[in-house]
C-alpha cells in the first residue's frame, strides 16, 4: 500500500478502536465562539479535503487526473476559513483545499467537491480555470487562483490589502472587495525563505511600522519540511516573532478550536489595519506530491510519527469529547463523504476537456468591461493643477520627459483611480524628473514613493489592480526589472488565463530603459534587452521614440487597462527624455507641443511613418527611430536613396499587418534594432518579411554584449553612420 492508503486505513482503525491522539485542549467551544454544528461543519470540510486527496491519486493512476499535490496534514486551515469572511480576498497556498471547502459552506449554492474534481480532471467545465490548470480558486468565494505558489503571491496580497485601505479614502469604479475586508495570504514554511516572501514581509512590516493601515493577514503553514529539506525546529518563530511592524501569533493546526480562536483574534487586528503573521503548526502527509518518494529522505519513524498526528484523528477526538458524534458516527461520516467523492469523480472524468489551441488561448486576453467616461476637470481646476508656467508651456515645443509629465497629469485628473508608484517618483519627481510636481498636485496617496524593491512595486500594483485601481508603477531602469520579472510573467499576465477571464489586474508599467546614455551607468542603467517582456503571452509592450507619441501611447495604454483590462508595459528611451534636436544643435526638431486631451490617437497596432520614399523602408523603434531619421536625410542628400522610416511603436504584439502595409511599396527593408542581435525584435521581424514578403531584407542590431560606461557607451549599438552603411550595402549603392 502507498502512504495515502496507509493513512486512510489507520484513520478507520484508530477511530473504531478509540485509539486517538491526546487531546490538545486549551480552548473551549464557547471561548472560541463556536458551537457543535460549526465544529461538525469544519470536520466535514476536513474530511472532504482528505477524500479529494485520495481520489486525486486514484484518478492519476487511471490516467484521468493530472495533479496530486494535496492538503493532507494541513486541514486545520478549515478553521482559518471559518474565522474569516467569504468576502475577504484569499490568496491560497496549494495545500488549502480544506480552506476552500470550509469557505464554500459560508456562501449558498457552492459545490466545492464537484468543482475541485473538475479541476483534477482538467475539464473545460472547471469553474475557475476552465481546464487550464489544477488550481484552488473561486470568483464567488473571493479566491483568485494561484499556481505553484512559492511566495510569488505574497507581494500582490500586500497590494490588495493596501488597496482595501486606499479604497476607504477614494473608492475606485470597479472595486471588488468591501471596505472593511482584509487580505489573506497563506504559504508554507519553506516558501518563507524565498526572497519574494522576505520582500513582501519586509514591506508589510515597514508599512505597519510607519503606522499606515494595512489590513493583511499572513498565514505560514509550518509542516517542518520543504519537499525534502527540513525546516529547522523553531526557525519560523525565531525569524518572525519579533519582526518590526508585524504582529506575530501562533496556533496549533491540529486543534480546530484553538486555530479558529487565534485566527479570529488575528483577523480582528488585521481588519483594524495592523498586519499580522499567523504561524500555524501542522504536518505533511503522503510526501510532497504523488511522485515524491519521501522514504528516500525520511526515516520510517519520522513518516509514522507524522501520520500518528493526523489532524483528522485530532478532530475526531474533539468531536467525541464534545459529545457531537460517536466513533461509529465519525466512520460513517468519513465513508459517506468518500462515497460522494467517488461518485462525483465518475461523472467528472466524463466531462469535456479543452481540445484546441484556440480553446486553451481563449482566456489569454481578459474580457472588456464597461467603464464610466472619464469626467474631465473643469478648465479652472485643470489650469490650477498645472499651474501658470506649465499651462503656458503646453503651447511650446517640449522634450519627451516634460510631455510625459503633462500627459500623466491629465490622465490623473480624468481618472481618479490611477495610482502612481515607484522608487523616487514622489518628492524627487523621478530620477529624470518625469514625475515632478505630481505628488504635490495629487498627494502622497496617489503618487507613492515605494521601497527600493521591484517585486514590491509590481506586486503592490497587481494587488491594487485586482481591486479596481489602475496603477501606473514605474521601474526606474530596465535592468532593475529582472529582479522582479516573475511578477509580470508568473502573476500579472497569467491571472486572466488561469481564472478563465474572471479575475484581472490591469495596469500600465512605465520602464525607463534602453541605451545611448552618455557616460552613465554601464549595463545596469543602459539595458538593451526586451526579450523578457516580448514573450509573455497577453502582455502589451509599447516604445515611443518621441514625446508626442509618448503621450498618445500612454493615453491608449490607460484606455487598454481601464476598458480592456490589459497589462501594458511602456518602455521609455532614457536617452531621448531630454533630446530636443534632430539634425543640428538648436533645430528643436525632436520636440513637440503638448497634444491636448482628445486630440489624435495612436491605437494598438498603429505604426508611424516618416517620409514616402520607396527605395528603402527602415523599420525601427525608440532610439533607432531617432537615428534612422538622421540617416534618412544622409541617404537622400549624399546617395540619392529615398527612404521612409517606419516606427513600430508597439513591440508586442507585433503590428504585423500595419507594418507590411506601410512597407509594401518599398523595394527593400532594413531593420534597425537597438537590442542585442540574439533575442531581439529583429529576429521576429526578419522572419515576418521572409515569410510574407518578397522584398530583400537585412538587419542592423546591437552586438551581443553588455553596455560599457564612459566614451564607449554606444560602441556596441547601432549608429547613424552604421545605418547609412547598412542601407548602402542592402541597396547595392557605392559608399
Measured at the CA of 151, the angle between CA 149 and CA 154, to 5 degrees, comes to 105
Question: b/e per residue, 463-502, with b = 16+ CB within 10 A?
Answer: bbbbbbbbbbbbbbbbbbbebbbbbbbbbbbbbbbbbbbb
Torsion-angle region of 538 (φ positive above 0: left; ψ -120 to 50: alpha; else: beta): left
Judged by DSSP in three states, 437 sits in coil
| Distant-in-sequence, close-in-space partners of 581: CB < 8 Å, separation ≥ 6 | 587, 588, 589, 590
Judged by DSSP in three states, 116 sits in helix
Task: List Cα–Cα distances, 371 to 83, 174, 417, 420, in angstroms.
Answer: 35, 8, 12, 20
| Distant-in-sequence, close-in-space partners of 519: CB < 8 Å, separation ≥ 6 | 709, 710, 711, 713
Q: Say how far apart CA 464 and CA 453 lie, in whole Å.
A: 17
Q: Beta-carbon neighbour count of residue 331 at 10 Å? A: 17
For the record, the C-alpha cell of 247 comes out as: 504582529
| Distant-in-sequence, close-in-space partners of 234: CB < 8 Å, separation ≥ 6 | none
Q: Beta-carbon neighbour count of residue 257 at 10 Å? A: 26
Measured at the CA of 412, the angle between CA 407 and CA 415, to 5 degrees, comes to 120
Q: Cα dihedral sign for 85, 87, 90, 96?
A: positive
Q: Beta-carbon neighbour count of residue 414 at 10 Å? A: 17
Cα atoms in the Cβ-side hemisphere of radius 13 Å centred on 147: 20
Radius of gyration of the chain from its Cα atoms, rounded to whole angstroms: 29
- Give the H or E element holding residue 674: strand 669-676
Q: Minimal CA–CA distance to 459: which of 488, 482, 480?
A: 488
Q: Beta-carbon neighbour count of residue 423 at 10 Å? A: 22
Backbone φ and ψ for 352, nearest 5 degrees, come out as: -65, 155
Residue 231 DSSP label: P
For the record, the C-alpha cell of 67 comes out as: 495533479
For the record, the C-alpha cell of 82 comes out as: 471559518
Q: Say how far apart CA 416 and CA 427 lie, in whole Å.
A: 20
Task: List Cα–Cα distances, 487 to 149, 453, 456, 481, 496, in angstroms.
Answer: 12, 12, 9, 10, 14
First to last CA, the chain: 80
Question: Grid coordinates 542590431 are at which residue?
Answer: 701
Q: Minimal CA–CA distance to 280: which of 240, 330, 320?
A: 240
Q: Say how far apart CA 120 and CA 217 lie, in whole Å.
A: 29
Q: Say how far apart CA 652 and CA 364 lie, in whole Å.
A: 14
The catalytic position among 74, 174, 279, 525 is 525
Q: Cα dihedral sign for 148, 152, 155, 159?
A: negative
Cα atoms in the Cβ-side hemisphere of radius 13 Å centred on 364: 13
- Tell me whether residue 525 is one of the annotated catalytic residues: yes
Q: Beta-carbon neighbour count of residue 313 at 10 Å? A: 20
Angle separating helix axes 311-321 and 327-348, nearest 10 degrees: 130
Judged by DSSP in three states, 65 sits in coil
Write out the catalytic residue numbers: 525
Amino acid at each position: 500500500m502507498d502512504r495515502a492508503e496507509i493513512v486512510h486505513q489507520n484513520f478507520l482503525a484508530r477511530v473504531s478502536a478509540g485509539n486517538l491522539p491526546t487531546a490538545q485542549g486549551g480552548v473551549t467551544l464557547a471561548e472560541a465562539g463556536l458551537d457543535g454544528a460549526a465544529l461538525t461543519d469544519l470536520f466535514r470540510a476536513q474530511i472532504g479535503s482528505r477524500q479529494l486527496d485520495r481520489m486525486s491519486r486514484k484518478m492519476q493512476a487511471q490516467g484521468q487526473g493530472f495533479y496530486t499535490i494535496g492538503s493532507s496534514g494541513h486541514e486545520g486551515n478549515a478553521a482559518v476559513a471559518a474565522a474569516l469572511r467569504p468576502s475577504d480576498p484569499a490568496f491560497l497556498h496549494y495545500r488549502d483545499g480544506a480552506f476552500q471547502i470550509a469557505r464554500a459552506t459560508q456562501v449558498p449554492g457552492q459545490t466545492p467537491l464537484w468543482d475541485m474534481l473538475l479541476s483534477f480532471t482538467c475539464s473545460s467545465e472547471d469553474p475557475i480555470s476552465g481546464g487550464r490548470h489544477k488550481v484552488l480558486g473561486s470568483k464567488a468565494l473571493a479566491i483568485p487562483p494561484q499556481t505553484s505558489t512559492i511566495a510569488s503571491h505574497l507581494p500582490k496580497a500586500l497590494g490588495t490589502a493596501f488597496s482595501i485601505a486606499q479604497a476607504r479614502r477614494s473608492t475606485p469604479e470597479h472595486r471588488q472587495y468591501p471596505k472593511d475586508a482584509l487580505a489573506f495570504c497563506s504559504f508554507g514554511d519553506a516558501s518563507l525563505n524565498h526572497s519574494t516572501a522576505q520582500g513582501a514581509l519586509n514591506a508589510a512590516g515597514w508599512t505597519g511600522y510607519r503606522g499606515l493601515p494595512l489590513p493583511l493577514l499572513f498565514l505560514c503553514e509550518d509542516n517542518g519540511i520543504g519537499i525534502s529539506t527540513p525546516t529547522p525546529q523553531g526557525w519560523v518563530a525565531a525569524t518572525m516573532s519579533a519582526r518590526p511592524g508585524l504582529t506575530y501569533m501562533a496556533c496549533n493546526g491540529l486543534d480546530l478550536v484553538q486555530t479558529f480562536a487565534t485566527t479570529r483574534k488575528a483577523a480582528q487586528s488585521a481588519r483594524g489595519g495592523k498586519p499580522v503573521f499567523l504561524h500555524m503548526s501542522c504536518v505533511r502527509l503522503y510526501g510532497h506530491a504523488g511522485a515524491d518518494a519521501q522514504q528516500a529522505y525520511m526515516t520510517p519513524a519520522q513518516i509514522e510519527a507524522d501520520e500518528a498526528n493526523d489532524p483528522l484523528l485530532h478532530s475526531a477526538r474533539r468531536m467525541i469529547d464534545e459529545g457531537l458524534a460517536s466513533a461509529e458516527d465519525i466512520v460513517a461520516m468519513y465513508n459517506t463523504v468518500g462515497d460522494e467523492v467517488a461518485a462525483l469523480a465518475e461523472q467528472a472524468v466524463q466531462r469535456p476537456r479543452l481540445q484546441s489551441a484556440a480553446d486553451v488561448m481563449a482566456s489569454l486576453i481578459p474580457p472588456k468591461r464597461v467603464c464610466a467616461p472619464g469626467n474631465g476637470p473643469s478648465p479652472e481646476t485643470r489650469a490650477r493643477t498645472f499651474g501658470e508656467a506649465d499651462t503656458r508651456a503646453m503651447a511650446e515645443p517640449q522634450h519627451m520627459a516634460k510631455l510625459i509629465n503633462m500627459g500623466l497629469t491629465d490622465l490623473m485628473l480624468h481618472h481618479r483611480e490611477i495610482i502612481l508608484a515607484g522608487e523616487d517618483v514622489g518628492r524627487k519627481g523621478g530620477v529624470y524628473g518625469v514625475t515632478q510636481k505630481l505628488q504635490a498636485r495629487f498627494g502622497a496617496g496617489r503618487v507613492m514613493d515605494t521601497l527600493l524593491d521591484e517585486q514590491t512595486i509590481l506586486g503592490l500594483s497587481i494587488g491594487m489592480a485586482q481591486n479596481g485601481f489602475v496603477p501606473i508603477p514605474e521601474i526606474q531602469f530596465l535592468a532593475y526589472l529582472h529582479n522582479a520579472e516573475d511578477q509580470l510573467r508568473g502573476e500579472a499576465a497569467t491571472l486572466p488565463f488561469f481564472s478563465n477571464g474572471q479575475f484581472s489586474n490591469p495596469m500600465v508599467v512605465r520602464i525607463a530603459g534602453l541605451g545611448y546614455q552618455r557616460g552613465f551607468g554601464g549595463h545596469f542603467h543602459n539595458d538593451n534587452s526586451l526579450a523578457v517582456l516580448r514573450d509573455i503571452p497577453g502582455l502589451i509592450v509599447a516604445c515611443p521614440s518621441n514625446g508626442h507619441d509618448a503621450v498618445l501611447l500612454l493615453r491608449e495604454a490607460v484606455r487598454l487597462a481601464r476598458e480592456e483590462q490589459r497589462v501594458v508595459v511602456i518602455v521609455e528611451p532614457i536617452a531621448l527624455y531630454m533630446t530636443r534636436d534632430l539634425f543640428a544643435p538648436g533645430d528643436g526638431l525632436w520636440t513637440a507641443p503638448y497634444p491636448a486631451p482628445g486630440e489624435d490617437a495612436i491605437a494598438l497596432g498603429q505604426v508611424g511613418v516618416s517620409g514616402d520614399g520607396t527605395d528603402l523602408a527602415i523599420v525601427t523603434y525608440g532610439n533607432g527611430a531617432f537615428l534612422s531619421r538622421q540617416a534618412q536625410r544622409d541617404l537622400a542628400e549624399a546617395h540619392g536613396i529615398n527612404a521612409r522610416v517606419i516606427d513600430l511603436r508597439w513591440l508586442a504584439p507585433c503590428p504585423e499587418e500595419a507594418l507590411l502595409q506601410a512597407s509594401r511599396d518599398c523595394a527593400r527593408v532594413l531593420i534597425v534594432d537597438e537590442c542585442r542581435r540574439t533575442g531581439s525584435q529583429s529576429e521576429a521581424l526578419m522572419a515576418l518579411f521572409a515569410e510574407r514578403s518578397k522584398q530583400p531584407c537585412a538587419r542592423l542590431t546591437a552586438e551581443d554584449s553588455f553596455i560599457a560606461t564612459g566614451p564607449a557607451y554606444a560602441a556596441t549599438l547601432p549608429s547613424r553612420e552604421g545605418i547609412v552603411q547598412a542601407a548602402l550595402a542592402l541597396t547595392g549603392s557605392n559608399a
